[in-house]
């Protein structure tokens, strides 16, 4: 049976980027260029890390945010880091850098030298969405309560 090529699902990708824009703006509030928001993550059993949001650049139509997390496994494994571009005119947020890898294609042939999944770009943006949801659900920053 011949394998069919993966076709990028633009509607799903755009939907994910739109929802991520809303999540990101809720967490960022009115931060400007150079500002950092620290969101301690905790549950009933204790604290388990910190979500860091740093506004690297802010312009009328775009904002670049660095997202990282520190936690209990620091020094053992590399903590997740990504760069996200917020496009204010279309109200979308897109992952443009993950763990120092940049410029993700909409689809990849599989297998490939870097072992990217065929829908790597969609998966990265979904991961961002889950990460931001986690921050909104478990974040306990002082000013986060105003954003809920």
pLDDT at 96: 92
Instruction: Tell me what the mean pLDDT of segment 104-129 comes to.
Output: 71
Instruction: With cut-offs at 50, 70 and 90, classify the pLDDT of residue 74.
Output: low
Looking at the predicted structure, is the pLDDT value of residue 85 above 90? yes
**Which residues constitute the domain of residue 16?**
10-147
Looking at the predicted structure, is the pLDDT value of residue 147 above 50? no
Residue 142 has, within 13 A of its CA and on its CB side, a CA count of: 0
83 within domain boundaries: yes
3 within domain boundaries: no
40 within domain boundaries: yes
Instruction: With cut-offs at 50, 70 and 90, classify the pLDDT of residue 148.
Output: very low
14 within domain boundaries: yes
pLDDT at 142: 45
Q: Give the number of domains in the chain.
A: 1
49 within domain boundaries: yes
Give whole-number Cα distances, 55 to 19, 36, 46, 128, in Å: 19, 6, 28, 16
pLDDT at 146: 46
Instruction: With cut-offs at 50, 70 and 90, classify the pLDDT of residue 87.
Output: very high
5 within domain boundaries: no
Highest mean pLDDT among 6-20, 34-48, 53-67, 100-114: 53-67
143 within domain boundaries: yes
Rg of the chain taking only CA atoms, in angstroms:
16
């Amino acid at each position: 049976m011949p394998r069919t090529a993966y076709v990028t699902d633009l509607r799903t990708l755009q939907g994910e980027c739109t929802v991520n824009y809303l999540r990101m703006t809720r967490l960022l509030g009115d931060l400007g260029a150079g500002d950092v928001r620290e969101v301690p993550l905790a549950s009933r059993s204790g604290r388990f890390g910190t979500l860091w949001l740093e506004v690297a650049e802010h312009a009328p139509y775009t904002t670049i945010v660095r997202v990282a997390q520190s936690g209990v496994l620091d020094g053992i494994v590399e903590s997740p880091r990504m760069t996200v571009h917020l496009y204010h005119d279309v109200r979308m947020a897109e992952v443009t850098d993950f763990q120092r890898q940049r410029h993700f294609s909409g689809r990849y042939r599989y297998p490939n030298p870097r072992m990217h999944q065929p829908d790597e770009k969609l998966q990265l943006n979904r991961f961002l969405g889950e990460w931001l949801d986690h921050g909104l659900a478990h974040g306990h920053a002082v000013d986060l309560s105003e954003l809920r």
